[in-house]
Amino acid sequence: MLTILCGPARCGKSTRVYERMGVGCAEKRRQLLLTPEQRSHETERRLLQTLGNRAAEWAEVTTFT
C-alpha cells in the first residue's frame, strides 16, 4: 500500500512516518521509504536511530534515482 502524507512544515509528518514504519516492522512487513537523494543518508540514520535493529531487517530507504 502507498501512503502519502502532506501538510505544512513542523506538523509531525516525519514523526508519523517513522511511527507507522515501526508498526510495520513490528508486524514483520517490509517497509520502503522514498526520499530525495540529498537526504538519503540523514533519513537512514534517523530510521536506525528511531527503530533500532528492526529497521535493518524490515525497512529500506531508497531514492528517486
- Judged against a pLDDT cut of 90, whether residue 65 lies above it is answered with no
Q: Are the beta carbons of 54 and 24 closer than 8 angstroms?
A: no
Ordered by start, the domain boundaries in the chain are: 14-63
In angstroms, the CA 43 to CA 45 distance is: 5
Closest to 28 (Cα-Cα) out of 55, 49, 62, 6: 55
| Spatial separation of the C-alpha atoms in residues 47 and 56, rounded to whole Å | 9
Q: Tens of pLDDT along 38-63?
A: 999 999 999 999 999 888 899 999 99
> What is the distance between the alpha carbons of residues 24 and 54, in angstroms, rounded to a whole number?
10
pLDDT at site 9: 96
The three grid cell numbers given for residue 7, joined into one nine-digit string? 501538510
**What is the pTM (predicted TM-score) of this model?**
0.85
